[in-house]
Amino acid sequence: MQTIQFFGDQVIGNLEKVIVGKRDAIELIVIGLLCQGHVLIEDVPGVGKTMLARSLAKSLACTFNRIQFTPDMLPSDVTGVSIYNQQKGKFEFRPGPIIGQIILADEINRATPKTQAALLEAMEEHQVTVDGATHILPRPFMVLATQNPIEYEGTFPLPEAQLDRFLLRVRLGYPDFMDEVKILDEQRLKHPIESLKAIAKTKEVLDASQKVRTVFLSPAIKRYLTDLTRRTRQSGDIYLGASPRGTLALSRASQARAALQGRDHVLPDDVKDMAVPVLGHRIIVSPAARLRELSADRIVQEIVHNTPAPGGDFHMPPPEKKKVK
């Protein structure tokens, strides 16, 4: 898995030229890319959410489209629309901004549920259907959605079906004191993204995504991550637990993290580190737990703490030698 580790280090290093002091968050974005998943970035304005999406697209030489969600948006504003061409005497499809590779869905919770639903097919099946015609989306395809956790006026909370389609939820947070001083120095004359160059090609991204799937999951690790997700359905603090899609997402994210560390097998620590970003947004906290001011992330952390981690050897067993007759 050295090739994936090298690929990941290159992308992370390139993104750090623009996003200062947020390596953990950047690693999660790269894990989402390697898993061909979508990422929900939830944080306050001005911490670099949009710039992170633009930098990722520029680093990979991918097409970048931005959708600024507003309450008056229609589903056709996202997917596209068929327009009648009088000269040719037929309808022509005008693609919407969702037809791209790296898509920034900015302030996604400001759109109505009907418009939010226009993203469901694209995010899950990598295609959009307009007027009965299906249009396949290019690969890699990744939606980076942003939402503000504070401004609730004029917003529509994302439904469970929408949240479940995001592989990870990431929070950037404010930079440290010295990092903020460094940001002032780097942006004094021009923005670092202006000189950012592509360091990977589309084929390299797709190849790395395929190799991630070959990272070995031992039977003990499979039971461990399944146990974690099942406990979210049994906890009294959780009204709705993680679905089987959450189990798949946790396994895939753990494989990507292991590959970024240069390993060809998953360790329990990989599962632990991915549990909150993968499962935190997939559960609904019970009313009683809300009264105790328990957050979804805190509940997942407690489940990870209380679930026994497996021990032993997690490497792939050597192939059996064929007996010579």
Q: Taking the CA of residue 155 as centre, how many other CA atoms within 13 Å lie in the half-sphere pointing to its CB?
A: 15
Domains of the chain: 2-209 (3.40.50.300), 215-306 (1.10.8.80)
Mean pLDDT to the nearest integer, 6-17: 90
Task: Give the DSSP letter of residue 192.
Answer: G
Distance of alpha carbon 311 from alpha carbon 314, whole angstroms: 8
Q: 175-205: per-residue pLDDT in tens?
A: 889 988 988 888 888 888 888 888 888 888 8
pLDDT of residue 153: 58
Contacts of 81-85 spanning 24+ positions with Cβ under 8 A: 81/130, 82/130, 82/131, 82/133
> For residue 188, with 0-12 CB atoms within 10 Å meaning exposed, 13-18 middle and 19 or more buried, which class applies?
exposed
Contact 242, 283 (CB under 8 A): yes
pLDDT of residue 144: 92
- Report the percent of the chain where pLDDT is more than 70: 95
Q: 193-245: per-residue pLDDT in tens?
A: 888 888 888 888 899 999 999 999 999 999 999 999 999 998 888 888 888 99
C-alpha distances in Å from residue 12, one per residue of 4, 138, 163, 223: 12, 23, 25, 31
Contact 310, 221 (CB under 8 A): yes
Mean pLDDT to the nearest integer, 65-69: 90
Distance of alpha carbon 297 from alpha carbon 271, whole angstroms: 15
